[in-house]
């Protein structure tokens, strides 16, 4: 699925099953909540925190999809074309960071 298709499918879902978009502030709070759930899984599975039994059945993929869903909702309701936004963002990063990371890691590797 392409990003544009994802934006269209989320919009269709919101307007049929979800009835309407929550307002932008509510969606921002929901995005923060969903990112927190991803952080909890990462910290416990890949970090130093021990995982609680109640967290073991949580799928990282599902939590990441929740983040993506709410992010797409915010983009849709604020008129952001995520395909174009990502394309421009990658161009910006490529121009800005063309040598930055290579230089940084070369210095680390030489130590």
User: Which residues constitute the domain of residue 29?
Assistant: 3-80
* pLDDT one digit per residue (tens) for the chain, 111 residues: 999 999 999 999 999 999 999 999 999 999 999 999 999 999 999 999 888 888 888 999 999 999 999 999 999 999 999 999 999 999 999 999 878 777 766 666 766
Residues 12 and 65 in one domain: yes
Residues 37 and 57 in one domain: yes
Nearest to 4 by CA among 78, 82, 67: 82
- What's the number of domains the chain is made of? 2
Cα 45–1–78 angle (5° rounding)? 85
How deeply is 94 buried, as exposed, middle or buried, from its count of CB atoms within 10 A (0-12, 13-18, 19+)?
exposed
Residue 100 in tokens? 């930055």
């Amino acid at each position: 699925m392409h990003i544009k298709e994802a934006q269209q499918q989320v919009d269709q879902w919101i307007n049929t099953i979800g009835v309407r978009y929550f307002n932008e502030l509510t969606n921002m709070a929901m995005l923060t909540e969903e990112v927190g759930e991803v952080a909890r899984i990462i910290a416990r599975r890949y970090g130093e925190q021990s995982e609680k039994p109640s967290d073991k059945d949580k799928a990282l993929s599902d939590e990441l999809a929740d983040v993506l869903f709410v992010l797409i909702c915010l983009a849709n309701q604020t008129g952001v074309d995520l395909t174009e936004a990502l394309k421009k963002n990658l161009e910006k990063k490529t121009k800005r960071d063309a040598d930055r990371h290579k230089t940084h890691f070369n210095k680390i590797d030489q130590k």
